[in-house]
Amino acid sequence: MKIAVIGGVAAGTSAAARASRVEPEAEIVLFEKNKTISYAGCGLPYYISGVTTERSQLIMNTPEEFQENYGVEVRISHEVTAIYPEEKTLEFEDLVADRIGQEEYDKLIIATGARPMMPPIPGINFERVLPLRTVEDGDRIKRLSGDQNVKNVVIVGGGYIGLEMAEAFDRLGMEISLIEMQENVMPLVNRELAAKIEKHLQEKGINLITGEAVKEFVGDGDVSGVITDQDREIPADLVLFAIGVRPDTELAAEAGVELGVRNAIRVNHRMETNLRDHYACGDCAESINLVSNKPTWVPLGSTANKQGRVAGGNAAGGSNSHFGVLGTAITKVFDLTIATTGIKEEEAEEAGFSPVSLTVNVPNHAGYYPGFKNFVLRGVFDRNSGRLLGAEALGKSGVNKRIDVLASAIYSELTADDLFQLDLSYAPPYSTPKDAVAILGMVAGKKI
């Protein structure tokens, strides 16, 4: 049996590695158009800032290591340009040798990922207007950040990447402006929490502009400024364009693979597409939201790893399932940690729930122990059943532990009363006798 994998990084390499374990006799070939196949994309901001000191620390496997460890033939700088599902062949271009070739397969795994959104704004093709998606992107931004002539940085987009890179550029001593088209940064969280993030950014000296979109990048030969739709001009020696990503699914669609939500590839719980023996996984594939039970698209490395493992195992003859996602995510912005899981009020209503939401200020640990800080915990519950549907947290300490407990609670369909009853660990450096999660459940139970 021959298994072809299109794309590396989290999903493609997970799929190839799992397939090699399930069926050691399978012939597996992985095509990757870039030179790196397995890297920690989420670590790029820390590499650029110097927190992560060596580029090699981000590389999980070199092509040679992966090939040796898993018996997978790795072809870097090979871009797949067409899939012919009836013939079970694909066409590729060797970007180094500049030649076209074909490859036959019995099973195909599509892990083409997502690509940065780069709309046709005048000047967006300037050399110093860059996205951050690949190691190569990180290398370019790090090189430019070290240029003494690069002092003013404009970040377009106030999502995860934009906020993490604001801290990264600040560590490098740059003057930073951040533009977000929506009224608040981090549109994925409640406005009350977003306002706290914005205040923190301004306290750190970030020039924050919300409710304005970029109209044009200006410059003579390269970017020197950004003009918004309110005709505000901001000086820029470097622009990080981070308004989001979209599934890279044109190749699959041209082959007859059905697309679903947000034009991600429609798959079932086995990661099978509508075409027999053709699988998809990672940032190019949709998933199921475990609360609303509706298709969703969540481009996260954790999801990509799970989906890749399922797709690879099944392509090799196994029987595995990917149950779905909650969209659990967390990020650090200077001194704050922001995290979210589950669904928001609007999604809950659309899914047929009767949502009740509340926000509580809770202690990270005992007040008499050094480092005491309150943080914000927000929950969305169903009024009829008391079930926890979603949660958000923001603070300087204690966030990561609680969001993971709450994600587990949502997964297990626990109620407000269940949260109060959970037997969570307690010691003064870590919690209070009545943990933050228990407090949320107690207050929610009263409100319901």
Q: Which residues are catalytic?
A: 42
Q: Are 19 and 43 in contact (CB under 8 A)?
A: no
How many other C-beta atoms are found inside a 10 Å radius of the C-beta of residue 137? 17
Q: Which amino acid is at 345?
A: E
Which residues touch 110 (CB under 8 Å, ≥6 apart)? 6, 7, 83, 251, 252, 257, 265, 273, 278, 279, 280, 281, 284, 285
β-strand partners of 93: 79, 100
Burial of 361 (0-12, 13-18, 19+ CB in 10 A): exposed
Per-residue tokens: 293? 């039970």
| Alpha carbon 273 to chain centroid, angstroms | 22
Distance CA(390)–CA(396), nearest Å, equals 21
Q: Which amino acid is at 26?
A: A
β-strand partners of 361: 376
Distance CA(388)–CA(408), nearest Å, equals 10
Q: Which amino acid is at 114?
A: A
Matching residue, tokens 């939201």 = 289
| Alpha carbon 231 to chain centroid, angstroms | 32
Q: Are 353 and 186 in contact (CB under 8 A)?
A: no
Q: Could you tell me whether strands 114-116 and 374-382 are parallel, antiparallel, or unpaired per DSSP bridges? A: unpaired
